[in-house]
Amino acid sequence: MRSNRVRPYGIATRCRTRSFTRHVPVGPRHEIVHSFDFASPFWPVTVDQDAHTLTGYGIDHGGACIRYTPNPHALFSRFDDVTIQRVQFAPGCHDLMRRATRANPAFICETLAHRQGVQLLRDYLVDAALSLAEGRGPLVVRPAPPRTATG
C-alpha cells in the first residue's frame, strides 16, 4: 500500500458505549457514556455502495480486519432533564478527533472476529488491492445483510 502511495486514514478511534439508569430523587435518569480510545490508522479495502457516508471494511497497521464508520457521536457532554450523555477520551484522543475535517474524517473502528476477517479477505482482498494500486480507491461493494441468530 505504501509503495503505491495509498493514504491510510489516520484519525481512527475505538468507541465503547455504556448505558444505564440511575435512580435519583427526582426520578430515573438515563445515562449514556461514550468512551473513546486510539485505534491504529487503517487502509480502506471496501466502501459500502448503499451508505450515505464513507463506511466499509479495512486493514489496520497491525494487519487486523476492521469495520469502519464515521464518528456519529458528539465530542462534548450533553445534559437534559431525563438523559445525560457523557464523553470520555483517552489522553490525547480528544485533540486527535478535533483535527477531523471533511477531507480527513474521524472514524470509529471495530475489529472483526477472526472468522469475519478471513471471509473479508477471501471475498475482497485481491480485487481491492488491485483497485487501490491502480489509484481507483477502495472497492465499492454492496454490504452483506446482517446475520440473524437463526441464519
User: Taking the domains of the chain in order of start, what are their residue ranges?
Assistant: 12-134
**And the C-alpha cell for 44?**
480502506
Element (H, E) at 131: helix 114-133
Paired strand residues for 44 = 58
Cα–Cα nearest to 84, from 18, 25, 14, 36: 18
**And the C-alpha cell for 145?**
445483510
Rounded to whole angstroms, how far apart are CA atoms 56 and 111?
Answer: 12
What are the two backbone dihedrals, phi and then psi, of residue 123, each rounded to the nearest 5 degrees?
A: -80, -35
pLDDT class of 145 with cuts at 50, 70, 90: low
- The answer to whether 141 and 56 have CB atoms below 8 angstroms apart is yes
pLDDT at position 8: 74
Rounded to whole angstroms, how far apart are CA atoms 101 and 124?
Answer: 28
Tell me the residue length of the chain.
Answer: 151
More confident residue, 110 or 127: 110
More confident residue, 143 or 2: 143
The C-alpha angle with vertex 143 and arms to 55 and 128, in degrees rounded to 5, equals 70
pLDDT at position 44: 86
- Of 78-82, 107-111, 146-150, give the range with the top mean pLDDT: 107-111
Q: Does the pLDDT at position 122 exceed 90?
A: no
Question: In the chain, what percentage of residues exceed pLDDT 90?
Answer: 25
pLDDT class of 34 with cuts at 50, 70, 90: very high
- The answer to whether 65 and 116 have CB atoms below 8 angstroms apart is yes
pTM, two decimal places: 0.76
